[in-house]
Chain A
Amino acid sequence: MKKYMLDLIIKENKQLSDQYSLLILTSPEKLPEILPGQFAEVRVDGSATTFLRRPISIHYVDYELNELWLLIQVVGDGTKKMAEIEEGKSLNMLIPLGNSFSTPSNIDSKVLLVGGGCGVAPLLYLGAHLKKIGFEVNFLLGARSKADLLQLCEYERLGNVFTTTEDGSYGEHGFVTQHSVLNSSNFDYIYTCGPTPMMKAVANYALKTSANCEVSLENTMACGIGACLCCVTDTIEGHVCVCTEGPVFNITKLKWEI
């Protein structure tokens, strides 16, 4: 897929909480084709300590409205500057980067999308894509507390939503991998993104239940386009770049201890 360097304009910056912002971007030109699971390398201006671009997942694309959504979780100065950007300003980004989630060949496959924290970001677009093709979509979303479960209505539009919170303030109490739906249902395809311990626990469940499982990794990156080899993960084929061969990997390819 051809990659572009684009200046996208902030149409809306919805501050969802003090930690999260939803950026809705647009462009005078038609947005390029972007697949679920792909990401952008965003340049951060006006941050003295942010030198490199920041990889950010594509949260959602609305081709009719020509909108691209990014979900930003503030963890340092780069994400802080992004989260605070004013409407009308633009963000420079390299897009679309990386591979994408695969689509099950059998339309009757039961699919589960498991997200934790900001890892939910790529799952919204994936869910929309799977629903459009005709899959029944199930989301299992986990967070620390109710305030961290963002925009549930967006997921509810697309399918069934199961939730857990670590403090029990919403949904079932505990981690995503403790949710009762995992005992009551069987899934053929599981997609997951979030903190590594969570993804490993999900991968473990997938292996036990013989489900196909894809994880989206968040290794630190410099170039984002396969030129620097800084972002590698260890696979059965040796070190490969997460920015080009990933960020989505089938767990059977990774050398994870699960």
Chain B
Amino acid sequence: MGNLNINIGKLQLKNPVMTASGTFGYGTEYSDFMDISRIGGIFVKGTTIRERQGNPYPRMAETPSGMLNAVGLQNKGVDYFINHIYPEIKHIDTNIIVNVSGSTIEDYIETAEKLNYLENIPAIELNISCPNVKEGGMAFGTTCLSAAQVVKEVRRVYKNELIVKLSPNVTDISEIALAVEAEGADSVSLINTLLGMAINAEKRKPILSTITGGLSGPAVKPIALRMVWQVAQAVKIPVIGLGGIMNAADAIEFMLAGATAIQIGTANFIDPTVSIKVIEGINDYLDRHGFQSVRDIVGALEV
């Protein structure tokens, strides 16, 4: 039995398997199917300063080996989270991490400030794939300048572990990773969804109400793996890998490419217990290859 404990900065994980924001609700949606405290960490839904209704239906289109979503950050706002949801989930014996989204830098700062004071929220994950309304809707995470700016401002007010989630819709993701590292990000997670589109030819109409949406699932895995590899080469802070992970083999590939831990997103929809199977599969891999600790496989790719 290998040792599955691993740390991301100050964040202690019982294992490197976590669930991705927007795909696992607040965790409790899955508790009928398994003991969710066995997971290394739960990244809860994208949370914004005020309540958001999200985009109109249809918000989802299935694609070959994946799906497009255009949920649009529907959530009840950070105050509702603090007063109504946090009390229900704070006792779950794992890391609960809040994914923070915003339309302006001020939104991010205010939301992060409020989450600072929650004892059982050891980290936040900044979703910088959101459109910056003051800059014509360009996502914060698509230029080094705006990515650095939002991280710098949030870093000033947020004292716990600050994870920055990178957008893959860029020319060079390592540059963005370096920019946010320089402003004090404790770690980076990648990838968020890839911008895509689906059309109903019979109706000559887009399937999503927003025309374009975010692609996830196994369709994006090779791209995600390549980006994790590139970023892990570039930065010194820990990297959390995600994008299309369906099983333990996928998870191990991300760790070999340099990820300290991984997240599982879309795969939860196909098998709600997949994260437990991935934990068991990683353990089995360590045994088969004679590794003492899961730390031994991080970046262990032989090239």
Interface residues of A (CB under 8 A from B): 2-5, 43, 48-53, 94, 219-234, 238-239
Contact = CB atoms under 8 A, between A and B. Distances in A.
B57 A227 contact: no
A5 B54 contact: no
A2 B270 contact: no
Given A220-B60, A222-B60, A228 B270 contact: no
10 contacts: A3-B33, A4-B32, A52-B62, A52-B269, A220-B62, A223-B269, A228-B69, A231-B57, A231-B59, A238-B53
B56 A222 contact: no
A232 B30 contact: no
Contacts of A230: 59-60, 69, 71
Contact of B71 (A51, A221, A225, A229): A229
Contact of A53 (B57, B60, B74, B269): B269
A168 to B, nearest CB: 28
B238 interface: no
Contacts, number: 92
- Secondary structure of the A contact surface, majority rule: loop
Contacts of B23: 223, 227-228
B54 A228 contact: no
A224 B64 CA distance: 20
B54 A229 contact: yes
A113 to B, nearest CB: 26
A232 B59 contact: yes
Given A222-B67, A229-B59, A234-B57, A53 B33 contact: no
Contacts of B271: 5, 43
Contacts of B59: 229-232
Given A3-B32, A234-B56, A239-B74, A228 B273 contact: no
A227 B33 contact: no
A217 B27 CA distance: 26
Given A225-B30, A234-B57, A51 B62 contact: yes
A52 B270 contact: yes
A3 B24 CA distance: 16
Contacts of A224: 269
A189 B63 CA distance: 40
The 7 closest A-B pairs by CB, nearest first: A230-B60, A227-B25, A3-B32, A227-B29, A223-B269, A222-B269, A229-B71
Interface string B254-289: 000000000000101111110000000000000000
Contacts of A49: 64
A223 B272 CA distance: 9
A50 B217 CA distance: 13
The dominant DSSP class at the B interface is: loop
Nearest to B25: A227
Given A4-B33, A229-B74, A233-B57, 12 more contacts: A51-B64, A51-B65, A53-B270, A94-B33, A222-B69, A226-B25, A227-B29, A228-B22, A228-B25, A229-B59, A229-B71, A230-B60
Contacts of A3: 32-33
Interface of B: 22-25, 29-30, 32-33, 45, 53-54, 56-60, 62-67, 69, 71, 74, 217, 266, 268-273
B141 to A, nearest CB: 22
Nearest to A1: B32
A43 B56 contact: no
A225 B272 CA distance: 10
A51 B66 contact: yes
Contacts of B63: 51
Contacts of B266: 222
A220 B60 CA distance: 7
A43 B271 CA distance: 9
A5 B67 contact: no
Contacts of A225: 25, 29-30, 272
A219 B57 contact: yes
Contacts of A226: 25, 29
Contacts of B269: 52-53, 222-224, 227-228
Contacts of A228: 22-23, 25, 60, 69, 71, 269
Contacts of A222: 60, 67, 69, 266, 269
Contact of B58 (A5, A53, A220): A220
A102 B59 CA distance: 28
Nearest to B34: A5
A228 B57 CA distance: 13
A245 B65 CA distance: 28
B35 to A, nearest CB: 14
Contacts of A219: 57-58
A5 B57 contact: no
B217 to A, nearest CB: 7
Q: Looking at A52, A226, A228, A239, which has the most chain B CB atoms within 10 Å of its CB?
A: A228
